[in-house]
């Protein structure tokens, strides 16, 4: 039924079309690509956010178990289309639709020695088939909440899926308590592997000369993955700003139309990154990022961050900013499912704000030095999840 719905939707929607076309002839393509005589580790991510959690595990696994092929699958086009050429994977595919026949054929072709499903990914037929074949199945960076169906009286089927997992590496103690409450004891507190990833980024950040010249020792905001709803709140802060602060803006969806609209709304001087160089950015107030892929490195030039998404579908990654010691602001609607957001709010290194006036008030009362130190320490103190997972793999794979 799901596949039929997607085929109909594909006629009208680009992402749905990618969802369908990306899975055409997938079994034959996988069969042609995968070496059946070589051991294989399979990592599955829903989309790009989960991939960032899988990435440190993949790269550590590849280093530790260099004789393995690495297979990465995605459910969503927004993950696959960005990472289909990921250099640390031997094979990258969409995940075939979850059905008994598909799961059997996929596992016949891939024949994994070990399988990792990231965060919220729990698929009935795949988990059944993996379990039937006695393949170690790891749920990594998973996190559970009391309101999820697994923990409801009518969630017996969903609980049966969880019981196919060999080991859970979860983000917090509440997840362990919830799993224990439904009879699942094979869970360990590891934390979120994204901490390892962002900490590594901060230690190996790529220099961006034009951004460095733009910031030029001025107090600089980095607006990361912002949507129109975020700009409605933050643009008055930019346009009414009378200090010498500067602003780097990275839109979540970089299109020419969105950039032109933003440029028309700005009353401060601006320049696009594609036109910027070390000699022409110093006098500009706003640097507009008109590409994708450099946001995580831009935070090194910031003093404060405003992260988008929390007024809409959900807060984007705040750890990339926190690891560089930036106090973080974001919308006050959809952030509570993100452990790091609630933690940093309690620590007074992050602030959920309703509107421009609250943003301005919180900023005026901010102790930047203390908040910066707390944010940076928070990330460093939560690293280590990847090593715990790799140590488990060594035991299971007897390496």
List pLDDT tens digits, range 306-360. 999 999 989 999 999 999 999 999 999 999 989 899 999 999 999 999 999 999 9
Element (H, E) at 202: helix 194-203
- Looking at the chain, the domain(s) classified CATH 3.40.50.11720 span 2-191+384-397
**CA separation for the pair 193, 214 (Å, rounded):** 32
Decide: residue 274, CB within 10 A, 0-12 exposed, 13-18 middle, 19+ buried. exposed
Residue 104 CA to residue 132 CA, distance in Å, equals 10
CATH placement of domain 204-381: 3.40.50.2000
With a cut of 90, say whether residue 184 has pLDDT above it: yes
Confidence class for position 244, pLDDT limits 50, 70, 90: confident
CA distance 371 to 367: 6
> Is pLDDT above 60 for 1?
no
Cα→Cα distances 356→112, 166, 229, 244, 363, Å: 51, 48, 12, 19, 10
Q: What is the pLDDT of residue 168?
A: 97
Confidence of residue 14 (pLDDT cuts 50, 70, 90): low
Which residues of the chain does CATH 3.40.50.2000 include?
A: 204-381
Q: How many residues does the chain have?
A: 399
What is the CATH T-level fold of the domain 2-191+384-397, as seen in this structure?
Rossmann fold (3.40.50)
What proportion of the chain, given as a percentage, has pLDDT over 90? 85
Assess whether pLDDT exceeds 50 at residue 7: no
252-291 residue pLDDT tens: 999 999 999 999 999 999 999 999 999 999 889 999 999 9
Q: What does the pLDDT look like over 23-80, one tens digit per residue? A: 888 999 999 999 999 999 999 999 988 999 999 999 999 999 999 999 999 999 888 9
> Which positions ≥6 away from 238 have C-beta within 8 Å?
247, 266, 268, 285, 286
Give 98 or 16, the one with higher predicted confidence. Answer: 98
């Amino acid at each position: 039924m799901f596949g039929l719905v997607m085929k109909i939707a594909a006629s009208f929607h680009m992402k749905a079309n990618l969802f369908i076309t990306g899975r055409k002839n997938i079994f034959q393509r996988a069969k042609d690509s995968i070496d059946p005589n070589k051991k294989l580790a399979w990592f599955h991510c829903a989309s790009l956010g989960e991939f960032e959690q899988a990435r440190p595990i993949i790269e550590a696994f590849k280093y530790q178990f260099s004789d393995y092929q690495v297979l990465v699958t995605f459910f969503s086009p927004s993950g696959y289309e960005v990472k289909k050429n990921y250099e640390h994977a031997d094979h990258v595919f969409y995940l075939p639709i979850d059905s008994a026949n598909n799961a059997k054929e996929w596992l016949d072709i891939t024949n994994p020695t070990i399988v990792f499903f990231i965060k919220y990914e729990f698929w009935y037929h795949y988990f059944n088939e993996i379990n039937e074949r006695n393949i170690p199945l790891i749920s990594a960076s998973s996190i559970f909440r009391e309101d999820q169906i697994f923990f409801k009286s009518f969630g017996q089927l969903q609980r049966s899926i969880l019981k196919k997992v060999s080991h859970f590496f979860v983000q917090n103690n509440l997840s362990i308590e919830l799993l224990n409450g439904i009879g699942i004891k094979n869970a360990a507190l590891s934390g979120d592997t994204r901490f390892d990833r962002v900490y590594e980024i901060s230690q190996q950040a790529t220099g961006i000369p034009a951004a460095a010249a733009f910031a030029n020792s001025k107090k600089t905001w980095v607006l990361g993955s912002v949507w129109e709803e975020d700009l409605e709140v933050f643009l008055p802060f930019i346009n009414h700003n009378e200090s010498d602060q500067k602003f780097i803006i990275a839109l979540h969806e970089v299109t020419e139309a969105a950039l032109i609209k933003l440029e028309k709304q700005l009353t401060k001087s601006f320049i696009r990154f594609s036109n910027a160089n070390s000699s022409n950015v110093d006098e500009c107030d706003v640097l507009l990022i008109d590409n994708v892929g450099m946001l995580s490195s831009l935070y090194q030039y910031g003093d404060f961050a405003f992260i988008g998404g929390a007024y809409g579908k959900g807060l984007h990654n705040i750890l990339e900013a926190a690891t560089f010691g930036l106090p973080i602001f974001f919308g006050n609607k959809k952030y509570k499912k993100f452990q790091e957001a609630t933690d940093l709010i309690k620590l007074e290194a992050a602030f959920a704000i309703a509107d421009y006036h609250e943003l301005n008030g919180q900023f005026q009362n901010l102790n930047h030095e203390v908040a910066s130190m707390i944010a940076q320490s928070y990330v460093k103190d939560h690293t280590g999840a990847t090593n715990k997972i790799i140590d488990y793999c060594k035991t299971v794979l007897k390496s």
